[in-house]
Structure formats: structure tokens, C-alpha cells
Structure 1
Amino acid sequence: MPATATRADRSPRAAEPSPRGGRMGALWRVLEGPRALDVAALLIGVCTAVLTVLGLVMVLSSSSVEAIGSTDGSYGLFRRQAMWAVGGLAALLVLRRLPLRVLKGLAWPAFGLAFLLLSLVAFTSLGHSVGGNTNWLRIGGFTMQPSEAAKLAMALWAAAVLERKGRLIRHVHHALVPVLPFGLVLVVLVLLGRDLGTAIILTGILATILFIAGTNRKVFIAFAALAATVATAMVLLAKNRLVRVQAWLFGCEGLETSGDPCFQPDHGIYALASGGWWGVGLGQSRQKWSYIPEAENDFIFTILGEELGLVGSLAVLAAFLGLAVGMYALAARTTSPFIRLTTWGIMAWLVGQAFVNIAMVTGLLPVIGVPLPFISYGGSALTLALAGVGVVLAFARHEREALRREGAPDAPTPDPSVRPQETR
């Protein structure tokens, strides 16, 4: 009688490494080897640490000039960001130790909390507007951005629901209910605050999880049509968005607007161009002297490119690529649908948002107001991004412990001559 397959035997990546050559082949052989989960966790942790530290440095550099003479001084924004980073690190360490059943149990409470907070922003006086978008919640002297919590909640909740669906997800009505309507409720609440950029990221998280779960393609056709229609309507109905898209497509000549929609993106390109190969030096940016408004936010990548050059920019891209590779390796080796779907959702959030931000500041996409994860200034964004990494590291720890239990040398070996007792 054949022995029962172990967890490693069932994994699609547990087979012999495919014959690939070169350095990429060596990397994939490591990621497909027996220590793949250890390597994936290490890669995710190192890339997260590099991005977070670099983000703190760039927030200090990009914000210190315009903050001269302010109440908090040149180091005010940096101190706040550093405090949020410490809080995010604490959240990462706590979430990393949680067992899988607890993380599954948090799915519905996290969704409910995100719904409640977004509703307070949209329908009560607690909602606070920044830059024309009402996406902040202010209670006394404390402010936070609930839409950042909604990203992590979306990934956990959608994965937990779809895991329970199992193979039924291939049927259209099982894919639609309740994931699609409930998920779109969070998107609509964000859109009520006029935050199209965050709504796009939330939609991307939901679409990625549905796709990886094996949703019928008819759902995706309808989903894509609905998303395109809503995005087009949001652009046409808001003059500032329409002007940004027109400026991106045709330039600013002939546009009737009170401001200059090309000022910020043009100076962002100037900053990247003046950085050259090695940059002008850390802290030596010229464009941060009020040429790029609030340079520590969405356009911080341009300041990074100016000060650290092409080499520094490529290092950031490499760190996000390493983050994606580590999460992909974890998702590919697990046998748990919840782990696989949640990991893909968090990867779509962090890496997908980084792609949108960098494409935006380099002129490949219009300006839509999406921050660069781990690097742009923003306490809520940084803390929740680190919390999302903590969830992924908890998954990696769970998978490693499961493999060790199944492959432990002192584990009892079943006697093939003894037939297992049937269960009813």
C-alpha cells in the first residue's frame, strides 16, 4: 500500500527543480528547493526593511526644506513617520506570531471594522478632507486613513470567503455572492470620498483574489466593464481629474484651468532627469524646494531618483521585485487556499500600488494620487503595509512549522501492513 503523501509531496513546487540556466535559474532553484519557505520569508523581511528604512530617509530629506519655520520644525514629519514605523513594526511582530485559525477568524471582524470606519468618513462630520479627498477620519487630535485598513481587510475577508466556497467558485452565482457585492461596498464608500486612486487599488485586490481563486471568466468580463464604466464616470464628472487626464494625453496647451496641471508632473520628470546615474547626493535635491508640492507624498520617488540617481531608483524597483518574488514563492508552495489567496491579495496591494505610483510619476499614467508603499509619507499607509507583511510572514511560519511536523525525524512512521481505521 503506498504511503500517504506529505504536504511537501502535494505541493506543485515540491517536484524536482526545472532546468533553468544562469543567475535567474539559480534563484529559482533555491526558491523551489527544500529551504524555499525560509528563503521566501527572508527575502520578504529584508526587502520590507530596506524599503522602510529608505522611506524614512527620503521623508526626512524631502520634507525638511518646506517644514523650515513650521511649528514642528524640519524634523517634524520625519519624527511622526518614525513613530508610525515603530507602531507598524510592532503590528508586524504581533501578527507574525498569530496562528492561522486566528487570522482566519479576523477576516469578518476586519471587514466589519473597515466598513464602519469608512462609513464614519463618508456619512458623519468625523470625515476630514485633505487635498480635495474626504478619506481621513479625525477624532480629537488623532487622524487616520481607514481606506488603508480596508486594503488589508479586503485581502483577508475575500480569501476567507472564497476558501469556504472551494470548487463552487467556478459557478457564476457563487463568485458573485457575497464577495463581489460586499467587496464593492467598500469600493463605493471610498469613492464617496472622491479617492479614485485608492478605489482602483481596492478593485485590483478584489480582482486578483477572484482570478487566482478560479472565478469564471464571465464574471471578469462583467467586472472589467463595470470598473471601466465607473472609472470613466469619475473622471468625466470631476473637472480636476478630467484636466489631469487631458494634460497627460495632450499636454497643457489650451487647457482652461486656474492652475497648471503639468507643473508637478513636469518637475517630477526634471528631478528624475537631473539625477543621472548616481544622483546629485542625498539631501541635495533642487526640485524639493517647492517645485514639487508636498514632495514627501505621492511624488517622493522623483526626489529619490534625483538624489540617488538611476542606481537608487533601480534599487527600489529591485526591492519591490524581491517582495513580489518572496510572496509568489510562498503562494506557490502552500496547499491552503486561504494562505494562497490572501498572499496574492497583499501582493497585488503592495506591489501593484508601487507599480501604479511609479508609472504615475514617470508619466506612464495620469496623476491619480496613489502613494508609494513604505516610502511615501503617511502613518496609516506605513503601519498597515507593515501589518500586511506581518500577515504574510505568519503564513510562512505556519507553512514551515507544518513541513517540520510532517518531516520530523522522531515522528512515528505508519506501518504499511496496518489498514487505517475507517471513519464514518
Structure 2
Amino acid sequence: MVSTPTRSGPGRTRGGKADPAGRAAGVARASLPSRIRSGISGFWSTLEGSGKSSGGSTYYLILGASLALTAIGIIMVLSASSVEAIAAGESPYSIATKQGMFAAIGIVAMLVLSRVNVLWLKRFAWPSIILAGALLVLVLVIGKRVLGNQNWIEIGGFTFQPSEYAKFALVLWMATVLSVKAKLLDKWTHALIPVVPVSAAIITLIVLGHDLGTSLVVMLIMAAGLFFGGVNLKLFAAAGGVAAAAALILAFTSGNRMCRITSWMGQSCAGASDIGFQSEQGLSALASGGWLGVGLGQSRQKYQWIPEAHNDFIFAVIGEELGLVGTIVVLVLFALLAVAIYRVVSHQEDLFARVLGGSIMAWMLGQAAINMAMVAGLLPVIGVPLPFISYGGSALVMSLCGVGVVLSLARAQMAPASRSKPRWRFAKTARKRT
């Protein structure tokens, strides 16, 4: 008897019997698009914060974005500083080696702070702000002046910038004070005092060192602390007017600052024709990079054309060497950092943690936005470094310390999900049975 042929295909044989291997292959082929859609949906929900692993994803987004930006910074500092180092008779790797050393110190500090309960940091709030004030006074007395700014203290061949430490100290101090006065913040006197006077004193000491850019960042930190502390928004209108008036006074009382502003507005400045040189060369570097850049290490503008190419204008070197793609990568990393930190801050019920995380977010992302806008010609040149990327040991270490504090808050969110409740219940049930 001859068997009649049957339809062949995935999961079937010519004899009509099932073929498990073929059926599995057919199911895999059929479900491939759905698996892709499911994977994309899962990634997006995780990034958005609605996935099952949203707590863990927040932690690793912050950690990964910070480390990636730090790695990019070391590479670009090496590229941007090699020419200047050779011209000074040093090794082309000398500046990048220092940056790598400070990155290692900052990463260790970040990991240590990420394992510390942030509430434990409250006891250091007042000593930290007092030490910051003392260092800012000391830098006016024995500080080192660089490019007109007296912001550095030199110790054993290494320089330390107290204003960077002051940012971290102010964030911690504000969070502590506002949390103590949480029930009194409805009254404007308690909302503004002592936060505004102390912040104003810190800003004044920084301005006396002729560093307007850092003082603006400290103003932003103070405003963020009051905002996340729940201070009445009507007070911000008055504070904004005072801050604008102070900025105008500082601008009009300095010929250099006025020339920077008039140059940014496209007007010439008598007696300082080279004021807009740095901005023009930065824009030229961004334009010459095109889509993919001229190649890593191949920048032409860094050859004594862009002043401070490895510092304030390192974003221009990124645009020239890595092109629009490279700048977008940096922007995306900062955007991921912003989304992840905001997720941490928005879930905080404790006022101390909310002000602490929110102020750090404003510090990192506000400073990054100011720097990139300055390089792109959207703001006057005010000398603000790009966090994690620009050369500067003090700035890098303090930025990574700030990330460590936020990581500690993110770990606290992960803690409830990581507790082993089922095993505890099983053990409790077992004890009852015995």
C-alpha cells in the first residue's frame, strides 16, 4: 500500500507526521518580528521607568552615562592638550594623565558615596559650608591667578579650585537646612534665611576672584534648592529681578565682561578687538567638523587657534574631530543622565533627599547647558567648563562625588525590590511549624 503524500512545511513531514524541529523553526521565524517589537517596548519601558527593572535601570543609566562622559573627557583632553603640552616641553600625555588620575580618584569617591546612606551626610553640612567659605577667603589671599581669574590654590605642584568644592558643600548644606525648616517654609523669612544670605556670601567670594561663570552656576544651584524645597514661586520673581540687577551691575562694572557681551551681540569693542576670537574659532571648529568630523586627534583649530581648547572649549574640539555625530552622542549622554536623575528626584518623599538630588541635577545639567550654549554662540563666553569632559581635577572629582550621592538615592529606591521577603516569610512559617 502506497502512502499518499501530504502537505510539507514547517512542522510537517511528507508522511504526515509532526516534525518538532521544523515546527520550532517555524514558530521562531513567525515570532521574530513580535520579539523585536517586544524587545523595543521593554527597553523603552525600562528607560521610561515603567518596566519591572526600572529601579535598577535608573541606577545603571546614571552610572553608565557618567562613566561614558568621563571616558570621552579623558580621550578628548588627550587630543586637545597634546599640542599645548609639546609646546611647553612636556609629554603629550602629561595633561591627560593628570585627568585620568583625578578620574580614578573621583570614581573611587563616587562608589564610596553610592554605598553611604545620604542621611548620614547631614552631620557634615555645617562643617562643609564653613570650610568652603574659609577656602574661598584663602584663595583671595594666596590664590593663583590664571587668565585673570584668581580661583586656584597650588599645593605641591597640584592646583585645587575651592569654588568647585563650594558647589558640593552648598548643595549638602541647603538640603540639610531646608529639611530642618520644612514646616516653616511657607513663611518667606524662613524660606530665604539663612539660605539666600549664605549663598550670596559664597557668590560674592567667587566674584571677587573674577569668576562670573562659576558664580552664575552657584546662583542656579541656590534657585534649584529653593525650588525643590517647595518655596513659594512668587518669591522667585523677586529673586530673579535682584539676580538680573546684580548681573547687570557686574557686567557694567567690568570692561572685559561688557566687551564679551557686545562681541556676542555682533558689535565691535574698542580696545579689545580679540575678545570674540575664542568664540569665532569655536564656531569655526564646529563648522569644519561636518557630519563625521575630521578624525580623532586631527583637529586643526587646537593648534593655538582655540584658547583653552582642552578646557572651556573642548566641546568645539569634539565637534571638529567627531563631527555632528560626536556632539549628538555627548548630548544624548547628558539627556540620559538628566532623565535618570529626574526619575530619582521625582520619587523622593523626604525633603532632604529631594533638595539634594534636585540641586545636583541643576548643577550638572545647568552647567553643561551653559557651556555648550557658550561654545555654539548662543551665550557670551563666560568661562564655564563642561562637566566630566573639560580638563580640571577639582571639577571632575566634585562632579563624580555629586553623582555618587545621586547613586545612593537610586540604590535606596532599589532596596525594597531587592529585599528577600519570600525567604523571610518561609523561614517565619518554618519556625511556627517547629
Q: TM-score, normalised by structure 2?
A: 0.85
Please give the per-residue CA displacement for 1:325-368, whole angstroms capped at 9, x wherever unaligned. Answer: 11011111122221111111111111110000000010100000
Q: What is the letter of the counterpart of residue 237 of structure 1?
A: T
Contact 1:251–1:262 (CA under 8 A) maintained in structure 2: no
Q: What is the letter of the counterpart of residue 195 of structure 2?
A: V
CA distance in 2, matches of 1:275, 1:321: 22
Query: Is 1:244–2:260 an aligned residue pair?
Result: yes
Deviation, structure 1 residue 402: 4.6
Q: What is the letter of the counterpart of residue 106 of structure 2?
A: G
CA distance in 2, matches of 1:308, 1:173: 51
Contact 2:81–2:310 (CA under 8 A) maintained in structure 1: yes
Deviation, structure 1 residue 29: 7.2
CA distance in 1, matches of 2:42, 2:230: 29
Contact 1:136–1:144 (CA under 8 A) maintained in structure 2: yes
Match of 2:103 in 1: 85
Q: What count of residue pairs does the alignment treat as equivalent?
A: 387
CA distance in 1, matches of 2:174, 2:235: 15
**Which of 337, 340, 348 is 1:334 aligned to?**
348
Match of 1:357 in 2: 371
Q: What is the letter of the counterpart of residue 149 of structure 1?
A: Y
Contact 1:44–1:327 (CA under 8 A) maintained in structure 2: yes
Change in Cα spacing, 1:229 to 1:79, as seen in structure 2 (3 Å) is same
Listed as ranges, the gaps of 5+ residues in structure 1 are 1-21, 414-424
Relative contact order, CA 8 A, sep 6+: which one is greater? 1
Deviating more after overlay: 165-174 vs 202-211: 165-174
Q: What is the letter of the counterpart of residue 363 of structure 2?
A: W
Matched residues, percent identical? 47
Contact 2:61–2:336 (CA under 8 A) maintained in structure 1: yes
2:150 match: secondary structure: strand
Change in Cα spacing, 1:403 to 1:178, as seen in structure 2 (3 Å) is farther
Contact 1:175–1:219 (CA under 8 A) maintained in structure 2: no
CA distance in 2, matches of 1:337, 1:322: 24
1:296 match: secondary structure: coil
**Which of 126, 139, 159 is 1:121 aligned to?**
139
Query: Is 1:55–2:68 an aligned residue pair?
Result: no
Please give the per-residue CA displacement for 1:47-87, whole angstroms capped at 9, x wherever unaligned. Answer: 00110000000000001112214243211111111111111
Q: TM-score, normalised by structure 1?
A: 0.87
CA distance in 1, matches of 2:259, 2:41: 46
Please give the per-residue CA displacement for 1:86-138, whole angstroms capped at 9, x wherever unaligned. Answer: 1111111111121233222222222122111111112x2x2111110111122
Contact 2:118–2:405 (CA under 8 A) maintained in structure 1: no
Deviation, structure 1 residue 140: 4.4
CA distance in 2, matches of 1:311, 1:27: 26
1:377 match: secondary structure: coil
Deviating more after overlay: 162-171 vs 299-308: 162-171
1:66 match: secondary structure: helix
Change in Cα spacing, 1:183 to 1:24, as seen in structure 2 (3 Å) is farther
Change in Cα spacing, 1:30 to 1:359, as seen in structure 2 (3 Å) is closer
Query: Is 1:66–2:84 an aligned residue pair?
Result: yes
1:38 match: secondary structure: helix
Listed as ranges, the gaps of 5+ residues in structure 2 are 1-39, 427-434
Match of 1:409 in 2: 422
CA distance in 2, matches of 1:223, 1:114: 24
